[in-house]
Structure 1
Amino acid sequence: MSMAPTSPLVERRAEKAVATALEDTRVVLVEGPRQAGKTTLVRKFVNDQRPFLSLDDPAILASAKNDPVGFIRNLQGAVIDEIQRAPELMLVIKQSVDTNTAPGRFLLTGSANVMALPTIGDSLAGRIEIVELFPFAQSELLDRSGDALDRFFSNEPLRVADAVVGQDLAELVSRGGYPEAIGRKDARRRAKWFNDYLTLILDRDVRDIATIEQLEKLPLLVRLLAEQSGQLSNHANIASALQISRATVGRYIETLERMFLIDTLPPWFSNRISRLIKTPKHHFLDSGLLAALRQFSPVPPQADPDRFGPLLESFVGAELRKLIGWSEARVTLSHFRTKDGDEVDFVLEDQQGRVVGIEVKASATLRRGDFSGLRKLEAAAGDKFVRGLVLHDHDGLRPVSERISGVPVSVLWST
């Protein structure tokens, strides 16, 4: 299997969304994790009316924080990188775009969810469009259509091609989607990059968006979450292990979410089934980072399916989150689990309430029990159930009922 391309020539699906938003919206914010490619993307929109200003530059940051009104006052527009480093600029930008309502004046990037900051709130409501940019999706790297969600919700048979299996799949998952990490062929060098990346974020970036009383606990929390990725959240156990309160664990996890390191998956529920677990799950938003934290070596996955399973599940979850980000259909992502232990890793639900269930298995062989959670979800969703898929380490399609099939993981990016 050849390495996916990693040059800046990879077309980002978010670029079209940004260009469209700048045509009719006063402020556009591109947000996502550090090193996902936000700066590369927004530099394409720099011009004489929108100069590039990076708040990672100490002199520019000092100017913005010391005199935010003066910083913005003389700008016709600007591309401002890493806006979370000076959130006080947001209120001044609001005043500026209320005075001059021309579209496309400010293009911002944020490596944190700045709209969730208490000082910002809804101040830019009606004036801002947010475009998410995550690390590369496989459909971007392979220049595919990226319309998997539309196909999942259609009644058409799924196309399965270019299956990635065995060691190739393990290597794909352990690389993740960050451009810098993908470019490192040596697994040890990738792990070094991920560890340095995490240290930078937890040592510096956290301070921009949150007040953390015991900063030294954060790396330990991240590693605990890595060991529990894909499992039901248990704040009490984490609090006990770290010797902090459950409330503090909740605040710390919320901070990691706002920095796009982890994703909290709420439970899906239905009145048809009363015995449902209502506990969320946490997933890492990049399987490469999770692989580094868990010190996973991409041996053939059959040799260690218990270690590979959580990584593959996070990989699929991240791919789904990216597909949702650029889909025109508004789709929510959740998980399904009954008190009897039947579960579905991911539940996609559109605005009409239609449901697609996705279960992830690291094995090449599927057994009858692997479909039990999807059957329970089908019963709970009734006629709203469109299809159920078990994504696994195999290259073929295996129908088990009219609406439930086993499919290769590559169904997420097959054309």
Structure 2
Amino acid sequence: MIEPSDSKPLVVRKVLPLVEAALADTRVVLISGPRQAGKTTLARMFANGDRPYITLDDAGTLNAAKADPTGFIRGIKRAVIDEVQRAPDLMLAIKASVDDDQEPGRFLLTGSANLATIPTIADSLAGRMAVIPLFPFAQAEVRSSPGLMLDRLFAGEEPSTNGDVVLGKDLMSIVLAGGYPEVLKRNSVSRRVSWLEDYVSLILDRDVRDIANIDQLDRLPRLLNVLAEHAGQLINNSSFGSALGLSGVTAQKYVAILERLFLVKTLVPWSNNRLSRLVKTPKLHFIDTGLLAALREDELARLSDDKTRFGALLESFVVSELMKLASWSERRVSFSHYRTKDLDEVDVVIEDRRGRIIGIEIKASATVKADDFRGLRQLQAAGGDRFVRGLVLHDHDRITPFAERLQAAPLSILWSM
């Protein structure tokens, strides 16, 4: 649990029961997510005399772990090891240790880089490690609301609101703040932006070096600014690269690094054999809209006058909130986007393991027209019986039916269900 400020109540992380359950039956548990999302605070709840806390942010500890990974792990029965991506060779030593002693709950790790994308690590700990994502605060956590929208919709329930509806400038303020705990402690916009600027500098200067060898490190901050202006759009690596004097291949590599550091998220295109005119290009989003707004220099007054500009922020906000809902859901889902060469689209397609799909279209306006469901209707026709529901989420306070399994609904159902 985390104390956002002395005057505010504790925010209970909804993945806490998942960590407890994983430690009871799995040898290694990894809490994975962005820096400053609350991983350390959560992990330290499980540290005690039998499971000491070790952080690789300490220079001496890090040097010891890198110099002799096997010796570092030898003799440790249980431990919490924080920021394990800083010494990736430790993972092989941990594998050897938990193969010798297969008792569950031996190592609780945190990582600010997506170690599951590194083939040698993913393969070495397959079947031995549970990975639990932890993102910055979700609105369902901040508001102590259920956060069960995905589970309830896939279970066949109708969308509903419980009165906790946020509209207009109040909604913009939530999107502009994002979810980093340290940012939400700060009441001043300038103090929030200052923290976020320092945060980006730290990650791009230090954390990138921990996970990748790149020749032009100075290009990453500029690339991040370019990506911020293209949030919510299809990825064009050649265009990104040309703006910085990089090849498209190099730009693609750098975008992948930023994704591994949980700064951005790419949504792959949804595919279906029955449809031949689908665009096959991924779409770009930012994990935290407070950070995105800071990079774009977006403020409340500016967005109030330019709803189109707010739309890009809002789309990343919804994608991020959906990812957070999925992180503690018992249902495994994947995210993609739908877009045709005729520019019909669905911003987010959510698919469960049974192949059932929910489509989400996002609008910054209060008004929704029948034409706003055009992409959802195409998705419904392509999905057939697998199509569970299509929603247009928008700046409104009530649910409006448009057709069977197609409704407009308040953005607030992201936390009110």
TM class by smaller structure: over 0.9
In the alignment, residue 235 of structure 1 is paired with which amino acid?
N
Judge conservation of contact 1:170–1:300 (CA < 8 Å) in 2. no
- How far is 1:398 from its partner? 1.4
In the alignment, residue 10 of structure 1 is paired with which amino acid?
V
Q: Within the alignment, does 1:98 sit opposite 2:99 as a pair?
A: yes
What is the match of residue 194 of structure 1? 196
**What secondary structure does 1:272 align onto?**
coil
Judge conservation of contact 2:28–2:106 (CA < 8 Å) in 1. yes
Where does structure 2 lack aligned partners over 5 or more consecutive residues?
none
**Counterparts of 2:154 and 2:304, CA distance in 1:** 31
What is the match of residue 170 of structure 2? 168
What is the match of residue 51 of structure 1? 52
In the alignment, residue 92 of structure 1 is paired with which amino acid?
A
**Counterparts of 2:51 and 2:157, CA distance in 1:** 45
Q: Which moved more, 1:368-377 or 1:250-259?
A: 368-377
What is the match of residue 159 of structure 1? 160
Distance 1:374 1:300, change over 3 A: farther
What is the match of residue 10 of structure 1? 11
Q: Within the alignment, does 1:236 sit opposite 2:217 as a pair?
A: no
Judge conservation of contact 1:51–1:77 (CA < 8 Å) in 2. yes
Judge conservation of contact 1:166–1:301 (CA < 8 Å) in 2. no
Distance 1:251 1:5, change over 3 A: same
| Count of residue pairs the alignment pairs up | 412
- How far is 1:364 from its partner? 1.0
Q: Report 1:8-407 matches (<5 A).
A: 9-117=10-118, 119-160=120-161, 161-299=163-301, 301-407=303-409
Where does structure 1 lack aligned partners over 5 or more consecutive residues?
none
- How far is 1:263 from its partner? 0.7
In the alignment, residue 246 of structure 1 is paired with which amino acid?
G
**What secondary structure does 1:382 align onto?**
helix
Judge conservation of contact 2:160–2:399 (CA < 8 Å) in 1. no
- How far is 1:393 from its partner? 0.9
**What secondary structure does 1:313 align onto?**
helix
**Counterparts of 2:75 and 2:278, CA distance in 1:** 56
**Counterparts of 1:341 and 1:145, CA distance in 2:** 35
- How far is 1:301 from its partner? 4.9
- How far is 1:401 from its partner? 1.1
Deviations along 1:200-236, one digit per CA (max 9) or x if unpaired, are 0000110000011100000011111110011011011
**Counterparts of 2:165 and 2:301, CA distance in 1:** 18
- How far is 1:302 from its partner? 4.9
**Counterparts of 2:21 and 2:412, CA distance in 1:** 30
Distance 1:346 1:314, change over 3 A: same
**Counterparts of 2:96 and 2:283, CA distance in 1:** 39
**Counterparts of 2:130 and 2:72, CA distance in 1:** 22
**Counterparts of 2:205 and 2:304, CA distance in 1:** 37
In the alignment, residue 185 of structure 2 is paired with which amino acid?
G
In the alignment, residue 370 of structure 1 is paired with which amino acid?
D
Deviations along 1:14-62, one digit per CA (max 9) or x if unpaired, are 1111111111111111110000000000101011221111100111111
Identity value in percent: 58
**Counterparts of 1:379 and 1:302, CA distance in 2:** 36
Please report the TM-score for the alignment, with normalisation by the length of structure 2: 0.96
**What secondary structure does 2:392 align onto?**
strand
Q: Which moved more, 1:149-158 or 1:264-273?
A: 149-158
**Counterparts of 1:45 and 1:383, CA distance in 2:** 44
Judge conservation of contact 1:77–1:105 (CA < 8 Å) in 2. yes
**Counterparts of 1:131 and 1:8, CA distance in 2:** 25
In the alignment, residue 90 of structure 1 is paired with which amino acid?
M
Structure 1 stretches (4+) deviating beyond 6 angstroms? none
In the alignment, residue 165 of structure 1 is paired with which amino acid?
L
Deviations along 1:41-92, one digit per CA (max 9) or x if unpaired, are 0101011221111100111111111121221112111110000011111111
> How much is the aligned-residue C-alpha RMSD, in angstroms?
1.5
- How far is 1:369 from its partner? 2.2
Judge conservation of contact 1:88–1:119 (CA < 8 Å) in 2. no
**Counterparts of 2:116 and 2:384, CA distance in 1:** 37
Distance 1:389 1:237, change over 3 A: same
**Counterparts of 1:253 and 1:52, CA distance in 2:** 33
- How far is 1:299 from its partner? 3.0
- How far is 1:118 from its partner? 5.1
Deviations along 1:312-350, one digit per CA (max 9) or x if unpaired, are 000000000111111111111100001101001000111
Q: Which moved more, 1:71-80 or 1:364-373?
A: 364-373
